[in-house]
């Protein structure tokens, strides 16, 4: 009995280790350069990418101003996230750096360590070739030519400074024209202007969604443009409706900003389907089915309709919402 108990415990330990090791193997790190050969002073980009499951957490290296030798970092960009088109539960996070060098030579960019739940990941080494500007030493060196004397006439001065003459003449002509117009113009009758009520955000969004559907973009093989415009309409509506910034933000950042709003769970799921599918089409080159394209439009209309503010008749005239 004791031997059987120990065998069971040992099997459980081995199974746990294999599962933990398999999860760690799903995280892959890679480094690459936009250009592997540059001239002195030119710039290129260094990309550090990590392919990971959606629930995994990794720590990118904190790079200083200098990577190695005389290769320096000009700018560190924000990480970019792209979902895996074959596996919606995984995505790739890419951190890019703008680098340069002012000394010719061949520089080896070492591996970078990336911390993960399964241990430390290592990127591959890279080689950057920095070349000098080639100078033809076979040609002779010539003296600098002396300046040539030229005659500067009035017409030359007028050609170079015509705007100083034309400007005052134009101002005088405009003043004369205004004076003549004010003397001869008929007296205008007072015009009563009626202020138009402000159009609420949900009405604007629904009109734009109708116009987008009438364009029939995805039916004309313009699927990416269709989802870009659909995503922009919904982002603009969310920004105006809930007063949060949505442009130049990732989908996860938008949902983090909406965490403490009163959006119902079912409406959040509608919004998530719209934005996530748009991200997959824009960044992962996903090709959704016609039913998915139509579903995104239906979800967008439902989301706007179910989250709109209600207006009283008095507030509609003033362009304000009920509190």
- Other CB atoms within 10 A of residue 30 CB: 14
pLDDT at 19: 44
237-275: pLDDT as tens digits: 988 888 888 888 888 888 888 888 888 888 889 888 998
64-88: pLDDT as tens digits: 788 877 899 999 888 888 887 777 7
All domains of the chain, ordered by start, with CATH?
26-131 (2.60.40.10), 201-318 (no CATH)
pLDDT at 8: 60
Instruction: Return the percent helix, strand and coil in the chain, to nearest 5.
Output: 45, 20, 35
Question: Which residues sit opposite 90 in a β-bridge?
Answer: 53
Q: Are 48 and 99 in contact (CB under 8 A)?
A: no
Indicate the average pLDDT of the chain: 81
Q: What is the distance, to the nearest Å, from the Cα of residue 61 to the centroid of all Cα atoms in its chain? A: 22
Q: Are 102 and 70 in contact (CB under 8 A)?
A: yes
Residue 110 pLDDT > 60: yes
Q: Is 66 helix (H, G, I), strand (E, B) or coil?
A: strand
pLDDT at 113: 87
Residue 24 pLDDT > 60: no
pLDDT at 322: 37
Q: Return the structure tokens found at 25.
A: 């193997």
Question: Which residues sit opposite 44 in a β-bridge?
Answer: 99
Whether the pTM exceeds 0.75: the reply is no
Q: Report, as an integer, the average pLDDT of 101-125.
A: 87
* DSSP symbols for 214-261: HHTTGGGT-HHHHHHHHHHHHHHHHHHHHT---TT--HHHHHHHTTTS
Higher pLDDT, 11 or 302: 302
């Amino acid at each position: 009995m004791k031997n059987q108990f120990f065998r069971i415990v040992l099997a459980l330990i081995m199974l746990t280790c294999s599962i933990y090791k398999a999860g760690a193997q799903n995280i892959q790190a890679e480094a690459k350069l936009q250009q592997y050969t540059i001239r002195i002073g030119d710039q290129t980009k260094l990309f550090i990418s990590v392919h990971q499951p959606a629930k995994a957490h990794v720590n990118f290296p904190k790079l200083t101003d200098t990577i190695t030798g005389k290769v320096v970092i000009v700018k560190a960009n924000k990480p970019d996230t792209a979902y895996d088109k074959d596996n919606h539960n995984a995505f790739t996070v890419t951190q890019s750096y703008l680098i340069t060098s002012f000394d010719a030579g061949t520089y080896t960019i070492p591996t970078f360590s990336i911390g993960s739940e399964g241990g430390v990941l290592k990127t591959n080494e890279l080689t950057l070739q920095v070349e000098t500007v080639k100078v033809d030493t076979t040609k002779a060196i010539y003296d600098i030519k002396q300046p040539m004397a030229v005659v500067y006439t009035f017409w030359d001065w007028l050609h170079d400074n015509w705007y100083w003459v034309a400007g005052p003449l134009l101002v005088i002509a405009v003043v004369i024209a205004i004076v003549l117009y004010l003397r001869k113009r008929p007296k205008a009758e007072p015009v009563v202007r009626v202020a138009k009520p402000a159009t609420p955000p949900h009405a604007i969004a629904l009109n734009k969604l109708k116009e987008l559907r009438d364009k029939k973009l995805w039916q004309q093989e313009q699927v990416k443009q269709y989802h870009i415009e659909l995503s922009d309409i919904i982002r603009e509506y969310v920004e105006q409706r809930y007063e949060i910034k949505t442009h130049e933000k990732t989908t996860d950042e938008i949902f983090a900003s909406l965490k403490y709003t009163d959006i119902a769970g079912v409406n959040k799921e509608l919004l998530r389907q719209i934005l996530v599918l748009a991200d997959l089409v824009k960044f992962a080159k996903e090709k959704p089915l016609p039913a998915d394209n139509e579903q995104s439009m239906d979800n967008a209309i439902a989301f706007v309709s179910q989250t709109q503010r209600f207006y009283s008749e008095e507030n509609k005239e003033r362009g304000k919402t009920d509190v």
